[in-house]
Amino acid sequence: MAYETIIVEIEDEVALVRLNRPEALNALNATLLDELSAALTEADRNDKVRCIVLTGTEKAFAAGADIKEMAEKSFVDVYDEDLFGPSMDAIQRVRKPIIAAVSGYALGGGCELAMVCDFIIAAENAKFGQPEVNLGVIAGIGGTQRLTRFVGKSKAMDMNLTGRFMDAAEAERSGLVSRVVPTPKLIPEAMSAARKIAEKSQVSIKAAKESVNRAYETTLREGLLFERRTFHSLFSTEDQKEGMAAFLEKREAQFRDR
Ligand code: CAA
């Protein structure tokens, strides 16, 4: 499918989705959010895709929600359309893993979009921030909620109240990103991580994603029970038999997603 604001390429069972509004530093306008949620939903359904990498350009992952598009809206306008609700819900429903590969600015909705993904790999030039307070608003897609769970209250408050940016080293130190790589290596590193994920049994990959996400939604006791029961249920799969047999026979496992 042809899109106006994103580019989708499929290579080695990985969908590489690039935000493509460089003239606006990939600001998230309605067209981009509609196209992105459609493309990710489509990748989730596509049997040829086992993992997704979401990226932007070298200068910007995304510099936030599109301020030009929002500036004149009233409360009733944004409330009525539930601005950002439906597109972000669609992205959160994707069951295949999504890696955010962040280079340059990930600000406001851009930082929040990266946090909706399953984990973030950052280039050395990445800059994260929640500068909405400079616009007389606050974050609207998780900048006060997800960011607080990633980096804790003190840093989340600092970023949301002062609007300052966090560089890649600080983001890694704070647990916002899983790894930092030299900028030119960002896409190769993210694609290599995605290919590693694509090699595994997709049953256990989906179960792992669901279980980690449970940690955000429930108590520790319930989360541990969910994890343990899910672990138990995987003993009903052919891939568990294959994975453990392959280890004992000192060979590579051949998973069949069964
Ligand atoms: N929305 C719309 N357009 C944007 C944009 C945004 N969020 N960010 C950048 N652009 C546009 C600029 O207007 C400019 O376009 P023109 O050439 O037509 O003027 C173009 O992208 C390049 O930007 P700059 O000239 O500003 O580039 P720079 O290198 O000097 O600065 C920057 C880069 C620091 C990222 C700066 O662009 C900036 O501060 N952008 C806004 C960041 C921001 O406030 N984000 C939060 C948005 S609100 C939000 O996201 C709400 C939410 O939580 C859901």
Give the distance (Å) from ligand 1 centre to CA of residue 213.
31
Domain for residue 256, yes or no? Answer: no
The partner residues of 128 in beta bridges, in order of sequence, read: 106, 166
> pLDDT per residue over 13-47, tens digit each?
999 999 999 999 999 999 999 999 999 999 999 99
- What is the pLDDT, as a whole number, of residue 144? 98
CB-CB contact of 1 with 39 (8 Å): yes
Query: Looking up tokens 């899983």, which residue turns up?
Result: 178
Pairing relationship of beta strands 98-102 and 179-181 according to DSSP bridges:
unpaired
Residue nearest (by alpha carbon) to ligand 1 atom 27: 25
Asked if residue 39 has its Cβ within 6 Å of ligand 1, the reply is no
Whether 96 and 178 share a structural domain:
yes
CB-CB contact of 226 with 232 (8 Å): no
Three-state SS sequence of 193-234: HHHHHHHCCHHHHHHHHHHHHHHHHCCHHHHHHHHHHHHHHH
Whether 40 and 92 share a structural domain:
yes
- Structure letter (DSSP) for residue 145: T
- What is the pLDDT, as a whole number, of residue 2? 87
- What is the pLDDT, as a whole number, of residue 93? 96
Whether 55 and 175 share a structural domain:
yes
Asked if residue 187 has its Cβ within 6 Å of ligand 1, the reply is no
Mark the ranges of the chain whose per-residue pLDDT is less than 50. none
Say how far apart CA 113 and CA 127 lie, in whole Å: 14
Domain for residue 258, yes or no? Answer: no
**Among the atoms of ligand 1, which is closest to the Cα of residue 109?**
50
Question: Which amino acids are annotated catalytic?
Answer: 65, 109, 112, 132
What the block records as the tokens of 247 is 């280890």
Whether 130 and 143 share a structural domain:
yes
Whether 18 and 93 share a structural domain:
yes
Mutation choice for ligand 1 from 19, 21, 25, CB with most ligand atoms inside 8 A: 25
- What is the pLDDT, as a whole number, of residue 1? 74
- What is the pLDDT, as a whole number, of residue 240? 98
Q: For residue 107, what is the domain's CATH number?
A: 3.90.226.10
Domain for residue 1, yes or no? Answer: no
Residue nearest (by alpha carbon) to ligand 1 atom 1: 66
Domain membership of residue 73 as a residue range:
6-199
Asked if residue 64 has its Cβ within 6 Å of ligand 1, the reply is yes
**Among the atoms of ligand 1, which is closest to the Cα of residue 139?**
53
Whether 156 and 213 share a structural domain:
no
**Among the atoms of ligand 1, which is closest to the Cα of residue 68?**
2
The partner residues of 107 in beta bridges, in order of sequence, read: 129
Q: What is the pTM of this model?
A: 0.97
Average pLDDT for the chain: 97
Asked if residue 25 has its Cβ within 6 Å of ligand 1, the reply is yes
Give the residue from 44, 53, 41 showing the smallest Cα distance to 99.
53
Whether 74 and 58 share a structural domain:
yes
CB-CB contact of 159 with 144 (8 Å): no
Domain for residue 257, yes or no? Answer: no
What is the count of structural domains for the chain? 2
Domain for residue 254, yes or no? Answer: no
Kindly calculate the radius of gyration of the chain based on its CA atoms and give it in whole angstroms: 19
Whether 230 and 118 share a structural domain:
no
Whether 214 and 150 share a structural domain:
no
Whether 141 and 211 share a structural domain:
no
Asked if residue 140 has its Cβ within 6 Å of ligand 1, the reply is yes
Domain for residue 207, yes or no? Answer: yes
| Sign of CA pseudo-dihedral 219, 223, 226, 228 | negative
Q: For residue 222, what is the domain's CATH number?
A: 1.10.12.10
Whether 166 and 129 share a structural domain:
yes
| ipTM tops 0.85 | yes
126: burial class by Cβ within 10 Å (0-12, 13-18, 19+)? buried
Pairing relationship of beta strands 127-129 and 119-123 according to DSSP bridges:
unpaired
Domain for residue 124, yes or no? Answer: yes
Whether 37 and 52 share a structural domain:
yes
- What is the pLDDT, as a whole number, of residue 201? 97
Domain for residue 253, yes or no? Answer: no
Say how far apart CA 46 and CA 153 lie, in whole Å: 39
